[in-house]
Amino acid sequence: MNHFSRRSILLGGLGLGAAALAGCTPAGPTGGRESSSSAPVPSLAVPTPGQRVVEQTLTARPVTLDLGGSQVATWAYGDSAPGAVIRATAGEFVRVTVDNQLPADTSIHWHGIRLPNAADGVPGMTQDPIRTGEKFVYGFTATDPGTYFFHPHVGVQLDRGLYAPLVIDDPREPGAYDAEWIVTLDDWVDGTGRTPDDVLNELIEAGGSAGSGGMGGMDHGSHGAGETQQPWGDAGDVTYPFFLVNGRVPTSPETFTAKAGQRVRLRIINAASDTIFTVALGGHVLTITHTDGYPVVPQETGALFIGMGERYDAVVTLGDGVFPLVARPFGKATGGQGLALIRTGAGSAPGPDVTPTELTGTALIGSELRPDESARLPSRTADATAQVTLEGSMSPYRWGINGAPFGENEPLTVRAGERLRLNVMNMTMMTHPLHLHGHTFALASGLRKDTVLLAPMQSMPIELDADNAGNWALHCHNIYHAEAGMMIGLQYVT
Ligand code: C2O
Ligand code: CU
């Protein structure tokens, strides 16, 4: 798949000067992240004199984890899944040494971070894989505040325990809340008799090899004898025994404690590989304030959909008692749900299968949020337009973009400085969370995202400013789809 020349990889990260190693300039009264596109990404992999450095070592290794009663053999960063949060303030330099003690190649991708191409963590595109026993140092300036996470970009390793939150604090934000909790969601199979690699092989085998001609657009394969499920149709391929919140099964949930009346900021991250969740907090209204790091016009809702790779920040004022924070997998009949508890007072804890009434109401679709003004791209007409057609089938198990799987499809191209419009069309009967590396894009409403859910047969124009030279990936964040080909390159050309 290595159709990127070594030369272009080397040049990729060097296209923009060091001029803009700026750090941050004051934002508007909303305290939103600095708008918008055109501040070039610093390309140096070393801190500037005086820049504060956040330094970490991550050891990726086989471990046995306790999910809350179930022991699983898996791969993780350190001793837990999710791994420990990495936290920096916008403008600081993040330097992470990865020590690969796995019996396999690995890498780390800093999901959602606008960083130099050489730190993006995609073997074959931006670096060589980190071999067993090797170390690799990632370095980048964390320019944009927000809620992010990181994970390998090798095979289906994301579906092991190899993920952790990454939070970039906004030095200008007033922080109008009393506490902040990170809520990381996952679907779990590793060490329960199957590994994610087994799961991928099962999907490929179940798909058979017959009729492997083109990318069959309409096949939704072995899914759904049942009624159509709104709004996402067939949303996943894999049957999971567990759904986790912060690495815990619902019979042994994490319990957050606070005082009644306190305001809490939730940073919700969907690190699952094949599961869209509906999230609700029993007895409460969530006020959504950010998605994928960018501020939105605050929107109240009882429940919220979150696709793989998406992040939402919500603020909530807590009532008095014990409340379930539920992550219900969309369209999956087995495996239960994800659960955490919030305790502010006396009362008995709800059980693992609790259904808050908020879950039975309408859930917010994130792409319908409105952007905060500070999050808009400058108004401008597109210089170039490209088509991005999502295709594939369950049988054969083969997914692609623009007519072929990754490696056989033609990379998209863009010139530095252009406004690029992508007309994305989902020509399948499944939902796909589309994720772009190194950039964020604007929906027609102006909403800024780096990962967006496309429902079956949905079309969506998105626009981006080509302000970060390199070779980047655009792919479905269902890791099985991505690994089966639903990915395409975005290459800067001159
Ligand atoms: Cu979170 Cu290319 O991925
Ligand atoms: Cu997909």
- 165-224: pLDDT as tens digits: 999 999 988 778 999 999 999 999 999 999 999 999 999 999 986 544 456 544 444 344
> 422-450 as b/e, with b when 16 or more CB fall inside 10 Å?
bebbbbbbbbbbbbbbbbbbbbeeebbbb
Q: And the tokens for 238?
A: 């894999």
| Ligand 1 midpoint to CA 317 (Å) | 32
| Per-residue pLDDT reduced to its tens digit, 13-46 | 222 222 232 333 333 333 334 444 456 565 557 8
Residue whose CA is at the smallest distance from ligand 1 atom 3: 111
For 126, half-sphere exposure in the C-beta direction (CA atoms, 13 angstrom radius) is 29
| Per-residue pLDDT reduced to its tens digit, 52-77 | 999 999 999 999 999 999 999 999 99
pLDDT at residue number 12: 27
DSSP 110-126: EET----GGGS--BTTT
Name every protein residue with a CB atom under 6 angstroms from any ligand 1 atom.
Answer: 109, 111, 151, 153, 309, 435, 437, 473, 475, 477
Which one has a higher pLDDT value, 112 or 220?
A: 112
Q: How far apart are CA 312 and CA 292, in angstroms?
A: 6
pLDDT at residue number 36: 45
pLDDT at residue number 22: 30
Query: Which residues on neighbouring strands pair with residue 248, listed in sequence order?
Result: 245
pLDDT at residue number 208: 80
Instruction: Compute the average pLDDT of residues 277-291.
Output: 98
| Per-residue pLDDT reduced to its tens digit, 251-276 | 999 999 999 999 999 999 999 999 99
| Per-residue pLDDT reduced to its tens digit, 391-450 | 998 999 999 999 999 999 999 999 999 999 999 999 999 999 999 999 999 999 999 999
Q: How far apart are CA 459 and CA 93, in angstroms?
A: 38
DSSP H or E run through 148:
strand 146-151
pTM: 0.90
Amino acid identity at 48: T
| Ligand 2 midpoint to CA 206 (Å) | 17
DSSP H or E run through 26:
none
Q: How far apart are CA 141 and CA 33, in angstroms?
A: 15
Task: Specify the pairing of strand 384-393 against strand 419-426.
Answer: parallel
| Ligand 2 midpoint to CA 212 (Å) | 18
Does the structure show a pLDDT above 50 at 332? yes
Q: How far apart are CA 94 and CA 452, in angstroms?
A: 26
Task: Specify the pairing of strand 363-364 against strand 303-306.
Answer: parallel
| Ligand 2 midpoint to CA 485 (Å) | 9
Tell which atom from ligand 1 comes closest to the C-alpha of 122.
Answer: 2
pLDDT at residue number 11: 25
Q: How far apart are CA 71 and CA 191, in angstroms?
A: 8
pLDDT at residue number 228: 54
